[in-house]
Chains A and B, each alone.
Chain A
Amino acid sequence: MTIAGHSIPEEILWILAVIFGVLLSCSAIIYLLRQRRDTPLLKEIHLRVWSWWRIAIGVAVVIAGPPWMGALLIAYISFVAMREMFSIGQLRGADRAGIFAAYLAIPVQYFLAWHFYFEQFLYFIPMAMFIVIPVLLVLNGRMNQIGRSMSIIPAILMLTAYMPSHMVLLYRLPVQPHPAGAGGLLIFLIMLTAFNDVFQFTWGKLLGKHKILPYVSPNKTWEGFVGGILTTSCLGMILSFLTPLLWWQACITGFVVGLTGFLGDSIISAIKRDLRLKDTDDLIPGHGGAMDRLDSILITAPFYFYLIKYFAGI
């Protein structure tokens, strides 16, 4: 299908039809139930489904919209996540210049990704910004707790800008290895990451006995972890029609996404424990902040990109 000169592959249309079909039926059922009897629980579910609508529309733009629009949206989400982390990060007044520099690094990093200046893309944040930010803090002249800020600000920059910017590289691969294009590669990543969270939660609820990280999140269990990763590997094989991957490559990719998704989730959870917060923000009703939703995909995105790059021989 072609809209305004921009063609959308058939596979992507099918995926979109399924996503919006499910959402539409959920909303319809909730609407009918609320017509009969409205309860606080239904209102809560209604809010959550409404949040899912917003997320789904964002995903639709990323996978089916024009690439520049998807790239801009990913860059903006990156900015929102960074703002949220700096807001809870307990930084000093003296860190303001460093924080500002970190925000400015977002457009630069996404510019490098968009033009596929791959080498510069790789070293801009881990090397250049890693020096620029501490220098700005030193110039500010306040030494008390400066080491803490020197670590936190570049770490937030890496987590919220460098990691997700790998998604934009997928739009701009020198050769697109599959007819489903960048949209196919991205929806494969997004679905695997999102369903991995769901699978780990579900297996944990069904069979969970042995706690895996009791000091971080008491709900995470070994059963959920193993079951989640295995199910995600299977889902990878099922969805491999969206990507150039062979079945066993898709299985390995699913495994890596499952594992790194769990790790990303745990890292953000640990930060929340440290700050004694339940959620990072209240941006998305029923979900918490942007970081509560993005915690897994920030980590899975770069791992996924390098796997694709390796398997497709780019």
Chain B
Amino acid sequence: MKDLLLYLFYQLIVRPWLTLIIGVRFSNRQVFDNVRQFIVVANHNSHFDMVSIMAALPWRKLKNTRGVAAAEYFGKTSFSARLMNFFFHAILIERHRKEGAPSAIEILDGHLKAGKSLVLFPEGTRGQAGVIADFKKGVAILLRDNPGIPFIPVYLDGFGRVLPKDKWLIIPLVCKVRFGEPVYPAGQDVDEILEKVRDAIFKLKDKDERDRNVFDYK
């Protein structure tokens, strides 16, 4: 029931708002039709990133998809943690692990083993528009340990201009959510898998021309 409400909220309110007012276009949304479980990996520039990806998910996938977010930022108050849990089924991860607590990888692996899909930003934090920072290794370790689960690369283009880091004013500007085809990365080498993830996202970026239109974005 709660999930149905959430789905209707995304489809009837969030998505029209994103497409008609903000100017978001989705492409290749049908990738989700052919996969059961997946890890969505995307570049990260804005709070809009997670919202847009969730708004693109079909009903069956939204139910079982959990967003991964930083506990220091989103878990500051129990209210914000609860909101994150409602809207993104968020798994809040401590950036600095406490003594004796399970590691982020163990937590996320547990969710994958339980049949959940994840939305991950391997850059770890929001970066500058048009620049993709170095990826953290966690996503590659998860993919190595769960060989049956593919990753779906996403390139988010232009969101760093709509709502950049440390700003509150939202400016409608055309931006794109570009989904790539799911990839099953074979192999045991973490660095190799990470390279595949990076390549897949960069390939989607190469097709883009929006962020090129940023003139001195400070």
Contacts and interface: CB of A to CB of B under 8 A. Distances in A.
A87 B218 contact: no
A90 B213 contact: yes
Given A83-B23, A87-B23, A87-B158, A96 B215 contact: no
Given A87-B23, A93-B164, A100 B169 contact: yes
A243 to B, nearest CB: 33
Nearest to A82: B172
A94 B167 CA distance: 11
B190 interface: no
A222 interface: no
B217 interface: yes
B213 A93 contact: no
Contact of B210 (A83, A87, A97): A87
Given A83-B172, A87-B158, A275-B213, A96 B23 contact: no
A225 B172 CA distance: 37
Interface residues of B, number: 19
B218 A84 contact: no
Interface in B166-218: 167, 169, 171-174, 209-210, 213-218
A139 to B, nearest CB: 13
A176 B69 CA distance: 60
B174 A87 contact: yes
Contact of B214 (A90, A100, A277, A281): A90
A116 interface: no
A79 B21 CA distance: 9
Interface string B68-107: 0000000000000000000000000000000000000000
A91 B171 CA distance: 12
Contact of A96 (B25, B158, B169): B169
B218 A86 contact: no
A259 B161 CA distance: 37
Nearest to A144: B216
Interface in B149-173: 158, 161, 164, 167, 169, 171-173
A-B CB proximity, top 10 nearest = A90-B215, A87-B174, A93-B217, A87-B173, A93-B218, A83-B172, A83-B23, A90-B213, A88-B213, A96-B171
17 contacts: A79-B172, A80-B23, A83-B173, A83-B174, A86-B171, A87-B23, A87-B210, A87-B213, A89-B213, A92-B218, A94-B218, A100-B169, A100-B171, A142-B218, A145-B215, A277-B209, A281-B174
Interface of B: 23, 25, 158, 161, 164, 167, 169, 171-174, 209-210, 213-218
Interface of A: 79-80, 83-84, 86-94, 96-97, 99-100, 103, 142, 144-145, 275, 277, 281-282
